[in-house]
């Protein structure tokens, strides 16, 4: 059973800082399920969603670094300008190896920080909600946040010194549970769970309130008017 973990801040102890790894696909292959709705704006939408996600994570006071793993020079340049550190996908062996590679860079930069893998598809992300989730994650060796559909995962974390073993892809909620990671379900943290893969997801994110880049691109999409 999932139970909310107490905040380290609430217990009066210093909050753990985190290095978050955000995987960003080559834009030509991103948001394919949005093709019909987004049309010629699909790649711009994928970049906007990633940029709003990274910008929100960088504003979270629990986050020390955001490490973007990507082989696409366009998001690399835009996200670096926001303050993210860019790491190429050297393993080139799929999502989880890319995340492990990025987490290794995070641990080199900040050995005393926790490491986490954050979805690039969270355009409504709120820094304060992310901070609450990360405080809860600090109370378990490994933790994860399920997506809004209850099937996937939007955030996976490992404390300092704990092996970083993400299991993204398919029913990753079940996979992370099976590996013993603690599930975090806190009230009032919908923005951390609201990933965007479909037009319906985007409508739900817009209802929560997305970042400005996603909102601007969405305003160009007749199907969402």
- Binding-site positions for phosphoenolpyruvate read 153, 169, 172
What is the rounded distance in angstroms from the CA atom of residue 85 to the CA atom of residue 66? 6
DSSP state of 14: P
What is the rounded distance in angstroms from the CA atom of residue 82 to the CA atom of residue 54? 8
**CA 115 to each of CA 62, 120, 132, 156, 167: distance values in angstroms, whole numbers, following the listed order:** 11, 16, 16, 8, 14
Long-range contacts of 167-171 (CB under 8 A, 24+ apart): 167/96, 168/95, 168/96, 168/99, 168/117, 169/94, 169/95, 169/96
Chain centroid to CA 20: 8
Query: Who's near 122: CB < 8 A, 6+ residues apart?
Result: 49, 52, 53, 56, 154, 191, 192, 194, 195, 196
């Amino acid at each position: 059973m999932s139970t909310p973990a107490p905040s380290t801040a609430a217990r009066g102890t210093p909050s753990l800082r985190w290095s978050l790894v955000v995987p960003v696909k080559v834009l030509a292959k991103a948001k394919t399920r949005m093709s019909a709705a987004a049309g010629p704006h699909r790649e711009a939408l994928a970049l906007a969603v990633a940029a709003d996600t990274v910008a929100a994570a960088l504003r979270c006071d629990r986050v020390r670094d955001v490490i973007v793993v990507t082989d696409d020079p366009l998001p690399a340049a835009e996200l670096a300008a926001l303050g993210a550190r860019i790491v190429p996908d050297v393993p080139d062996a799929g999502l989880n190896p890319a995340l492990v590679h990025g987490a290794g860079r995070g641990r080199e930069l900040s050995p005393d920080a926790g490491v986490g893998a954050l979805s690039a598809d969270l355009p409504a992300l709120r820094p304060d909600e992310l901070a609450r989730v990360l405080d809860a994650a600090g109370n378990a060796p490994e933790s994860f946040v399920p997506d809004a559909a209850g099937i996937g995962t939007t955030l996976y974390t490992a404390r300092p010194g704990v092996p970083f073993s993400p299991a993204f892809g398919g029913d990753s909620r079940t996979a992370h549970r099976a590996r013993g990671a603690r599930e975090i379900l806190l009230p009032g943290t919908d923005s951390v769970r609201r990933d965007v893969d479909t037009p319906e997801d985007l409508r739900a994110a817009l209802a929560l309130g997305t970042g400005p880049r996603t909102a601007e691109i969405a305003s160009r999409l007749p199907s969402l008017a």
